[in-house]
Structure formats: structure tokens, C-alpha cells
Amino acid sequence: MRSYASAVTAELGDLPGAAVGIGLCDAMLGTTELIRARRPTSLVFVGTAGALPGSGVRIGDVVCTREVRLGDAALALGLGYSPRHPGALAGRAWGGVTQVVVITNLAITTDPALAARYAEAAQVEHMEAYGFALACERAGVPWSCLLGITNEVGPHAHAQWLENRARCEAAARAAARE
């Protein structure tokens, strides 16, 4: 049985599933709990996300995660290193929905220079995708993420998210039903 997940209940709407929490850690723990409780045959995360600069992804688009990567500002800016950075996780395609590379960070990126660095490796930023995908991978549950693009990553992201959130959540849910 397929089930659905989202960061918050509003994103999920009437889809059968559960909100797993906001951010990387809550999404990983909440997804693990969802898998244990419902034992789904596959999981689909439905939510909203931001388009990175130059990605070609536009506000109002719905995208599917081809691959999700874990982002880190210190690494992206050359200010740190990781002796063993986690690898990318591959998602499943969803119908005719455009597939993109998603980066998950601990915070929403507001700095244009950092957004440009992340854009070298991904097209979309989403706060829960990596935690969700990692929990699914560890449990052997096939997964996809369907994300409505609400904003451009950068200093105006929050205002754009507020303006476009309801419409883009509905678009992601509609894609999930197809």
C-alpha cells in the first residue's frame, strides 16, 4: 500500500498519510515512525520547495526528486571539510513530472552567494527530502518526492512562499493523485 508524507498536515491535505515534521532530523525520525506504524509498500513525500538560481525551475512547477543530496554551507563555501560526507540518494520517477536534483540543508538559504554555490550541484532546495529519503532507504521502502515550487531561493523566498504556498501545495497533491 502506498502512503504519503509531508512536513505539515496542510501540505498533505486529504492524501492518506502523515505529517513527519519540519526539517532534516524531524523528517527522518517521523518517516521512520510512519514506516513502522503503517508498513507502506512505497512512500511519497508531498510538499513545497524553492528553485535554485539558474535551474530553469519556475514558481508553480511541480517536480519529482531524481536525486537528493545533503547540503552544508561550510562545505559549499570551502570553509570546512567532511571526512565522509553522505552520498546522494536516488528517488523514483513519477509519471511525466520533471525530475530534479534536490539539496537538503538545515536552514532555508537566504544568501544569494550560497544559493549560487548550491545551484552548482542541484536545482531545488527542500528541508526534509534527505531525511525522508534516508529513512525510506534504511527501511527498504521505495520513495518519491513531489514538490510544488513556491519560491526562488534567496532573500525573498519567505514572502514568495507565503504568496504561493496554497496553490503549489494543491498542485503537488494533484500530481500525487495521478
> How confident is the chain (178 residues) per 10-residue block, as mean pLDDT?
94 94 97 96 97 97 96 79 80 93 94 94 96 97 97 96 97 94
pLDDT value for 82: 75
Are residues 49 and 9 in contact, defined by beta-carbon separation less than 8 angstroms?
A: no
pTM for this entry: 0.94
CATH classification of the domain holding 26: 3.40.50.1580
Q: For residue 88, what are the domain limits?
A: 2-177
pLDDT value for 29: 98
Q: What's the rounded Cα separation, in Å, for the pair 141 and 44?
A: 10
Structural domain count of the chain: 1
Q: How many C-beta atoms surround the C-beta of residue 53 within 10 A?
A: 14
pLDDT value for 75: 77
